Amino acid sequence: MESKELTIIIVTFKSEKKIANCLKSIPPQIKVIIIENSNDINFKKNIENQFSNSECILMGENKGYATANNTGLKLVKTKYALVLNPDTILDKNAVENFLISAKKNDEFWLMGPANDQKKKINFDDNRLVEVENLKGFAIFFNMSKFKEKFFDEKYFLYFEEIDLCKSVKKKNGKIFLDKYIKIIHQGASSVDNMDPEELEKNRNWHWMWSTFYYHKKYKGFILALILVFPKLLSATIKVLIFFLIFNKKKRNIYFCRLSGLFNSILGNKSWYRPS
């Protein structure tokens, strides 16, 4: 039953070490589609040799989280899909609990594990609670509700799942948290062996680009500019301060924040890529 109804999508980029534990936690009868944001043929061979239920698609270059996930989701033939981060581990009953909830609530569009949110949300005697958005490390899709339009591909990194949930709610779609689905998220980073400074620059650039783009998309240019102006001012001041005290590392990080924000304000696409 599980293998016929669910496909798992995992987007990776230099994640060979982290993804192994994730794949080991997935029941072997469930098909896994891995979308690798590079042209690393050795990664593909190693994964497919170790895990017979896995197919690895190479994107050729780093096209970002949204585009890669859409590539995988468009290949799904099953009723449901689960988008996972590579640094997650499924509880042994996670898939079973999801299918139980999905069959009882077939009107859902998206569903996710409650995890640490159980303390903040009053479930009472219910296993499901309707919410406005989900955390992006594990998202179950009811594929019948989507018409080959999932994530906004203008995002390269950050805000993709927030934007997806916003889009679903605008269509009056239902999003649920399930208190019985448990998926461990290790967090920190889904990337192996990247220079910490380069990783930090990449995060700062894209966080600021995506922040303005998201606000502009839903609130308009002027209000978005007002909302991000304190961040723009702060980044400008810190670039000047760290330039004057010869702290190159900090200067470069805050320059990336400034650059990401300016490029988004100017309407430039999200072009910065980690080296």
- 187 dihedral zone (left: phi>0; alpha: psi -120 to 50; beta): left
Indicate the helix (H) or strand (E) that contains 109. Answer: strand 108-113
For CA atoms 251, 257, 262, 267, the dihedral sign is positive
* Pairing relationship of beta strands 108-113 and 31-36 according to DSSP bridges: unpaired
Taking the C-alpha atoms of residue 273 and residue 59, their distance in angstroms, rounded to an integer, is 15
Cα 110–chain centre separation: 14
Catalogue all structural domains in the chain, each as residue range(s) with its CATH number. 2-185 (3.90.550.10), 196-265 (no CATH)
| pLDDT at residue 121, rounded to an integer | 72
Residue-wise pLDDT tens for the chain (275 aa)? 456 899 999 999 988 888 999 999 999 999 999 999 999 999 999 999 999 999 999 999 999 999 999 999 999 999 999 999 999 999 999 999 999 999 888 899 999 998 766 556 767 777 889 999 999 999 999 999 998 789 999 999 999 999 999 999 999 999 999 989 999 998 755 565 667 888 899 999 999 999 999 999 999 999 999 999 999 999 999 999 999 999 999 999 999 999 999 999 999 999 998 76
pTM: 0.91
Torsion of CA 7, 84, 163, 13, to 10 degrees: -110
Query: What's the distance, Cα to Cα, between the start and end of the chain in Å?
Result: 43
3-state secondary structure of 205: helix
Taking the C-alpha atoms of residue 190 and residue 85, their distance in angstroms, rounded to an integer, is 7
Burial class (CB in 10 A: 0-12, 13-18, 19+), 132: exposed
Q: Tokens 């920190």 identify what position? A: 188
| pLDDT at residue 1, rounded to an integer | 47
Q: Which residues contact 262 (CB under 8 A, 6 or more apart)?
A: none
| pLDDT at residue 177, rounded to an integer | 93
